[in-house]
Amino acid sequence: MPVPIIIDCDPGHDDALAILLAAGDPAVDLLAITTVAGNQTLRKTTLNARRVCTVAGITGVPIAAGCAKPLVEPLRVAEDVHGASGMDGPGFPEPRVDVVPEHAVELIHRILREHPEPVTLVPTAPLTNIALLLTRYPEVAGRIREIVLMGGSTERGNRTPAAEFNVHVDPEAADIVFRSGVPVTMCGLNVTHQALATPEVLARLEGLGTELGRICVELLTYFAGTYRRLWGFPHPPVHDPVAVARVIDPQLVHCVDASVAVELRGEFTRGATVVDPHRYLDRPVNAKVAVGLEVEAFWDRLVAAVAALGGPARTAEDAGDPGAREA
Catalytic-role residue among 115, 235, 239, 278: 239
Q: Among 4, 38, 62, 90, which residue interacts with ligand RIB (rule: CB under 6 A)?
A: 38
How far apart (Å, rounded) are the C-alpha atoms in residues 144 and 115?
10
Q: Among 165, 178, 298, 299, which residue interacts with ligand RIB (rule: CB under 6 A)?
A: 165
Can residue 170 be called a binding residue for ligand RIB (CB under 6 A)? no
Can residue 124 be called a binding residue for Ca ion (CB under 5 A)? yes
How far apart (Å, rounded) are the C-alpha atoms in residues 179 and 247?
21
Can residue 15 be called a binding residue for Ca ion (CB under 5 A)? yes
Question: Residue 259 binds which one of ligand RIB, Ca ion, none, with CB within 5 to 8 A depending on kind?
Answer: none
Can residue 25 be called a binding residue for ligand RIB (CB under 6 A)? no
Site for ligand RIB in 212-271 (CB under 6 A): 239-240
Can residue 67 be called a binding residue for Ca ion (CB under 5 A)? no
Q: Among 4, 12, 151, 236, which residue interacts with Ca ion (rule: CB under 5 A)?
A: 12
Can residue 132 be called a binding residue for Ca ion (CB under 5 A)? no
Q: Residue 108 Cβ, how far from Ca ion at the closest point, in Å? A: 17
Q: Among 39, 46, 190, 273, which residue interacts with ligand RIB (rule: CB under 6 A)?
A: 39
Site for Ca ion in 234-293 (CB under 5 A): 240
Catalytic, 103? Answer: no
3-state secondary structure string, 47-102? Answer: HHHHHHHHHHCCCCCCEEECCCCCCCCCCCCCHHHHCCCCCCCCCCCCCCCCCCCC
Question: Residue 164 binds which one of ligand RIB, Ca ion, none, with CB within 5 to 8 A depending on kind?
Answer: ligand RIB
Burial of 251 (0-12, 13-18, 19+ CB in 10 A): exposed
Can residue 164 be called a binding residue for ligand RIB (CB under 6 A)? yes
> Please, which contacts does 201-206 make with residues 24 or more away whose CB atoms are closer than 8 Å?
201/299, 201/303, 204/299, 204/303, 205/303, 205/306
Q: Residue 80 Cβ, how far from ligand RIB at the closest point, in Å? A: 12
Nearer to ligand RIB, 143 or 246 (CB): 246
Nearer to Ca ion, 49 or 272 (CB): 49
Size of residue set near ligand RIB by CB under 6 A: 15
- Find all residues with CB under 8 Å of 180, minimum gap 6, and list them: 134, 141, 147
Q: Among 14, 88, 175, 211, which residue interacts with ligand RIB (rule: CB under 6 A)?
A: 14
Residues that bind ligand RIB (CB under 6 A): 10, 12, 14-15, 38-39, 124-125, 150, 158, 164-166, 239-240
Annotated active-site positions, please?
Answer: 239
